[in-house]
Structure 1
Amino acid sequence: MSKFPSLKNHLLIAMPSLKDLHFSRSVTLLCEHNEDGAMGIVINHPLDFSTSELLEHMEIPCVQSHNINPVFAGGPVQVDRGFVLHRAEKLWNSSIQLKNNISITTSADILHAIGRHEVSNEAFIALGYAGWEAGQLETEIMENSWLTVPVDPEIVFSTEIDKRWEKSVQLLGVDIENLSNMSGHA
């Protein structure tokens, strides 16, 4: 029995030909990938409101001089559910630690800490997630919808949002505009 070739802890980069509204020019951090499917958070599609506005809406006290970071559209699945991607300086009630000092947390305790400015600026909230059923992501990769590269925390936390797609592609060492949309299978 061979080991499943998981892409967990990889960035999933949309090919220029992918025109889906939710994934056009997207970069998705894959938080889970196994025989049953995949789950990730889109890290470069900001919504029209800030973290402080979201916390205020949720009636979570917020230091107003902070938390102006945008909230992201993490994907089209369960858009009423929030995820916090952050440096793994501390683990919270519902944290999953990924590689390269990155964690994802779904519990409210981190939201209160963000509101109190107790979490570094290397954290952001995403609403919803991207999900794939068993074999679906692998098929989409074979159809040339996606490229993958191991996660780079600098892209996740330090790169300007509108540059994350280009910087992710640069990690591959190719000019994405020169890539063909046709897949080749020798």
Structure 2
Amino acid sequence: MKFKFLILFILLWQIGFSQEEEKQKKHYHDSKSFYSKFELSSPLRVNQYAGEINEYTGEEEPWFLLDGISLRACIGSHYDKWIGIGMNIGIDWKANRCLVVAPLFGSLRLSPRITEDIRITSEAGYGRALSISGDKLSGTFKKISLGIEDEENGFGIYIELCQYGFSKITPERIGSFSVGLNYIMF
């Protein structure tokens, strides 16, 4: 009788131990606090012939023209997908300035939920920008962006203002206004 009771006790203890171990694994998986993000955007510039009729096509000129492309990647840490900090690296091409820049910057991200699956995001970044187009230019990099993300699949759209802390020819600093898409993985 004592032997059967001992076997039953050990069996129940073993099941209880297994359940406790499973809870620890599940808790560890839910507390993942890192994210990675990829961005693709295009800077826009004002068309000086906006509103005029193009004599070759007969169409009205658009207000904005695409002016290059930007590709960036980020890895960071977040708290409950609401606030995060990250390290970013990328490559920006500004066509009208004949400039290729590699920004390396840190960012602070705020993304409160506005519906069950949609988050509004704002991000500010500060760091360094290095010209890799042979100009040997270097300076600060500042950016601010505002966007909307779908929490379920990670895709989003955003607008961004950025400024490089140097100038190529004229005394004003180079900057841009961009529209882009991003993909974030938590």
Give the TM-score band, short-chain normalised.
under 0.3
From the CA coordinates, give the structure whose radius of gyration is larger.
2
Please identify which structure carries the higher helix content: 1
Q: Normalized against structure 1, the TM-score is what?
A: 0.23
Greater relative contact order (Cα 8 A, min sep 6): structure 1 or 2? 1
